[in-house]
Amino acid sequence: MQLKDHIVLVTGAMGTLGQAMCKAIEAAGGKAIRSDLAGRGKPDIVLDVTKEEDWKAAMAKIAAEHGRLDGLVNNAGVGTPGDVEQTPFSEWRRVMAINADGVFLGCKYAMPLLGRSKAPSIVNISSASGIVGGANLAAYNASKGAVRLLSKSVALSGARKHPPIRCNSVHPAFIEGDMVDAMVKGRPDPGKAMAKLQAQIPIGRLGHPEEVANTVVWLLSEASSFTTGSEVLVDGGLIAG
Ligand SMILES: NC(=O)c1ccc[n+]([C@@H]2O[C@H](COP(=O)([O-])OP(=O)(O)OC[C@H]3O[C@@H](n4cnc5c(N)ncnc54)[C@H](O)[C@@H]3O)[C@@H](O)[C@H]2O)c1
């Protein structure tokens, strides 16, 4: 019960990884507050991460109901293929708004409520693609790289608080679920494309959503109390090579 009585807000909670994270948070004794876009399942809070007013309203609701926040998982994100020439500027702006602005706004507006916790922790979901580039991932690479370094700045300003507000980034590589399915669906031979993805991973398979979720629980918990500003890979060894 590493997260006994912890109140944790998860964005994009109705997606593949969000659902697994909420389940793992609850299995560890915490209370997961599920947020997502309107019309995406039945979230506890409708929160479009690109909208400043949604963040303010979400924080007011959590303050009224719980009085504090122990954890924030900035998980909402979108993938988009395209090299720098192919990517329309409007698509660049959309991806940056969700993946980068959304994480900035989350960290900014959650800080005061996190400051009321005894052991506050922010976990930002970046990607292996936030560390290494790909020719056809211009906007995604840039947005996830932004999450990686923003997390370090937040960790350093959070370290000045009492108690410190920790902040770390998580970097998964291809995880089973909608995002990877959508990536291979557009290819001429989806089966071959999936096999190619798997072959890139030294462990020889895609990751399971639970493997990312378990890392998130660890970073939210006091078991990682001296870990802040770090980037945690959940990538089957992809970046090691
Ligand atoms: N699945 C992977 O292989 C993989 C690998 C590396 C990183 N990631 C990252 O993990 C996170 C979760 O990915 P996933 O695989 O669960 O994807 P997913 O598509 O299953 O879920 C993403 C969720 O984000 C929500 N969302 C989209 N725009 C939003 C907005 N403006 N405001 C609030 N919510 C919004 C969607 O409604 C959805 O529920 C993303 O940040 C993604 O970039 C995923």
CB 134 within 8 Å of CB 141: yes
Task: For residue 15, report the distance from its CA to the centre of ligand 1, in Å.
Answer: 6
Does residue 2 belong to any structural domain of this protein? no
Q: Which residues contact 78 (CB under 8 A, 6 or more apart)?
A: 94, 95, 98, 99
Structural domain boundaries enclosing 183: 175-206
Q: Is residue 240 part of a domain?
A: no
Residues 67 and 164 in one domain: yes
> Which CATH number characterizes residue 158's domain?
3.40.50.720
Amino acid at 227: T
Shared-domain flag, residues 146 and 197: no
| pLDDT for 179 | 87
How many structural domains compose the chain? Answer: 2
* Average pLDDT score over residue span 157-186: 95
62 CA to centre of ligand 1 in angstroms: 22
pLDDT for the residue numbered 1 = 78
The share of the chain scoring above pLDDT 70, in percent, equals 100
Nearest CA to ligand 1 atom 33: 48
Residue 36 is assigned to a structural domain of this protein: yes
pTM tops 0.85: yes
> What are the pocket residues of ligand 1 if the criterion is a CB atom closer than 6 Å to any ligand atom?
11-12, 14-18, 36-37, 40, 47-50, 75-79, 98, 125, 127, 172, 174-175, 177-180
Q: pLDDT for 44-84, tens place per residue? A: 999 999 999 999 999 999 999 999 999 999 999 999 999 99
Query: What pLDDT, on the 0 to 100 scale, is given for residue 87?
Result: 98
Same structural domain for residues 82 and 164? Answer: yes
152 shares a domain with 38: yes
The reply to whether 181 and 213 lie within a common domain is no
Tell me, yes or no, whether 16 lies in a domain: yes
User: Do both 220 and 200 map to the same domain?
Assistant: no
Inter-CA distances, 59 with 68, 97, 111, 226, Å:
9, 20, 10, 27
Shared domain check, 30 and 129: yes
Cα–Cα distance measured from residue 116 to residue 8, given in angstroms and rounded to the nearest whole number: 13
C-beta of residue 123 within 8 angstroms of C-beta of residue 216: yes
Q: Across residues 14-40, what is the average pLDDT? A: 98
- Percentage of the chain with pLDDT > 90? 96
| Residue 72 and residue 163 share a domain | yes
If you measure from the C-alpha of residue 208 to the centroid of ligand 1, how many angstroms do you get, rounded to a whole number?
15
Q: What is the mean pLDDT of residues 226-233?
A: 98
Q: Per-residue pLDDT averaged across 160-176, rounded?
A: 98
pLDDT digits (tens, 9 = 90+) for 99-125: 999 999 999 999 999 999 999 999 999
Q: Do 112 and 200 sit in the same domain of this protein?
A: no
Residue of 128, 116, 33 lying closest to 72 (CA atoms) = 33
Q: What rounded mean pLDDT belongs to the chain? A: 97
- Residue 223 within any structural domain of the chain: yes
Catalytic positions: 140
Looking at the structure, do residues 102 and 134 belong to the same domain, yes or no? yes
Contact 129, 172 (CB under 8 A): no
Alpha carbons 124 and 126: distance in angstroms, whole number? 6
Q: Whose CA is nearest to atom 20 of ligand 1?
A: 15
In a domain, 112, yes or no: yes
| Residue 187, pLDDT above cutoff 90 | no
CA separation, residue 199 to residues 15, 82, 166, 178 (Å)? 25, 22, 35, 19
Residue 31 has pLDDT above 90, yes or no: yes
C-beta of residue 62 within 8 angstroms of C-beta of residue 33? yes
Residue at 51 is within a domain:
yes
DSSP assigned state of 208: P
What is the predicted pLDDT for the residue at 79? 93
User: What is the 3-state secondary structure of 81-126?
Assistant: CECCCCCCHHHHHHHHHHHHHHHHHHHHHHHHHHCCCCCCEEEEEC
Distance 179 CA to ligand 1 centre (A): 7
Residue 179 belongs to a domain:
yes
Q: Which atom of ligand 1 is nearest to the CA of 172?
A: 6
What DSSP designation does 240 have?
G
Please report the pLDDT score of residue 62 as a whole number. 98
